Amino acid sequence: MRGGGLLVAGTTSDAGKSVVTAGICRWLVRKGLKVAPFKGQNMSLNSFVTREGAEIGRAQAMQAQAARVEPTALMNPVLLKPGSDRSSQVVLMGKPVGELSARGFFGGPGGSSPGKTLHGGRQKELFEPVMACLEELRSTYDAVICEGAGSPAEINLRRTDIVNMGIARAARLPVVVVGDIDRGGVFAQFFGTTALLSPEDQSLVAGYLVNKFRGDVTLLEPGLDMLHGLTGRRTFGVLPYAHGLGIDEEDGLRVSMRGTVRESVVAPPVGADVLRVAVCAVPLMSNFTDVDALAAEPGVVVRFVDRPEELVDADLVVVPGTRGTVKALAWLRERGLADELARRAAEGRPVLGICGGFQALGERIEDEVESKAGTVDGLGLLPVRVRFAPEKTLARPVGEALGERVEGYEIHHGVASVDGGEPFLDGCRVGAVWGTHWHGSLESDGFRRAFLREVAAAAGRRFVPAPDTSFGTLREEQLDRLGDLIEEHADTDALLRLIEEGAPAGLPFVPPGAP
């Protein structure tokens, strides 16, 4: 028995594909269907480790949670982790298989890891394993909701596409295109996206879904009617702008987003003071969602910063994970942040380093793998030496810290040798400086509260963690809100017909088509 399916494509990156996919998954599972998410190829520095030790995009792990199933490598068989503007590490079925230039991956010469599992670095060679994963999921689940990447109308990449219309054509998946109306120009985006596809691809594009609409939907309806007249395709729903979802994003925050505040619950502090957290927006920042659990605490304000003066009034500074530890170190020094971190440590003011940030706080780094920079001095705030190994550590550790049980996950090439300090989650602590390779540890409620009490004491703040904040419960509530958005603002009967029966026959061709 082969389950139904749907591809959620987008007019642009960040149009809302990830959250719409998660919302559809949650709506379907509440209807009693067994559903799985899928993204053939993902480009993201935000990743997660499954229970079998496979690395996948964190957005797919979030979508699996929305579907109430355990995430697996089948749900994201190809993950690209950028290391620069021109190259990425390629993760195939949860394991790294080489470093490739964009040209090498998308079809031209440029592979930099000869002899690796990825034969010659051609994206098209991954089509068969991607399709095998999709078919395996469809043989197991009632429905598979696939997320596209970027836009299906990226005509320069269509020939080797393994995530948008390439898989839609091969699997005969109906396609719904999501557009972000908050950016403006959504009608042109819908029309242009459709008109740049070949007749064969267009035959699978069933219609559109408007995302992030503000205002009176009746004012939008004449435009939707005109769009239907121009394309012969209907709009399946208009989703309102929803504040405070705080759902995992795919891409790292850019330094240009300095000052961005992580979305958090609107609640006053339990104690007399708030707690201010500054997160250094290092280059190639990965898994910045580690601080989401802090932002979920009443009275904790989390900001991303890139200037030393922005650390002065922070009660806690977090140096987060990064795909480029040596590059992040240079950036911290160039910006003057390294000196401010050293000053904080000397004054006993709290600093937390996570993964690459932990490595940067150490004494020395030997890197012939990631940056190939050789031996580089760290910031010297922790008695740790790091050697980068060719093999990546992928693990789901469980332990104890500050008297509380902690769960986390590890994704790193750096192997840390700790020579002093107090043990802390397989890392160490010296005074008010903590370092660990564990991502996700702050999602453990008891540990997070104990850690924040220590931070507040060291910072001299009368901050008291809320006794009942459950990050897991808050995440479930957010996912339910996504399901509600689909159920209340989309034509769910029509979407279910698409998933079960495929795209309707006779959809008209919109010229000019693919060049």
Q: What is the pLDDT along the chain (515 residues), one digit of tens a residue?
A: 678 999 999 999 989 999 999 999 999 999 999 999 999 999 988 999 999 999 999 999 999 999 999 999 999 999 999 887 678 889 999 999 887 765 566 555 444 443 344 443 457 789 999 999 999 999 999 999 999 999 999 999 898 899 999 999 999 999 999 999 999 999 999 999 999 999 999 999 999 999 999 989 999 999 999 999 999 999 999 999 987 665 655 543 333 333 444 555 557 888 889 999 999 999 999 888 899 999 999 999 999 999 999 999 999 999 999 999 999 999 999 999 999 999 999 999 999 999 999 999 999 999 998 889 999 999 999 999 999 999 999 999 999 999 999 999 999 999 999 999 999 999 999 999 999 999 999 999 999 999 999 999 999 999 999 999 999 999 999 999 999 999 999 999 999 999 999 999 999 999 999 98
Residue 345 token pair: 């440590």
Separation of alpha carbons 132 and 293, rounded Å:
36
Residue 165 token pair: 């219309």
Q: Tell me whether residue 259 is exposed, middle or buried, using C-beta atoms within 10 angstroms of its C-beta: 0 to 12, 13 to 18, 19 or more.
A: exposed
Separation of alpha carbons 211 and 217, rounded Å:
12
Residue 21 token pair: 């996919």
Residue of 402, 406, 426, 413 lying closest to 325 (CA atoms): 413
> Catalytic site residue 413?
no
Residues in the chain: 515
Is the separation of the CB atoms in 459 and 452 below 8 Å?
no
Residues 146, 355, 413, 437: which is the catalytic one?
355
Per DSSP, 433 falls in state E
Dihedral sign, Cα of residue 248, residue 436, residue 425, residue 50: positive
Separation of alpha carbons 496 and 492, rounded Å:
6
Residues 412, 413, 439, 489: which is the catalytic one?
439
Dihedral sign, Cα of residue 340, residue 343, residue 349, residue 352: positive
> Catalytic site residue 439?
yes
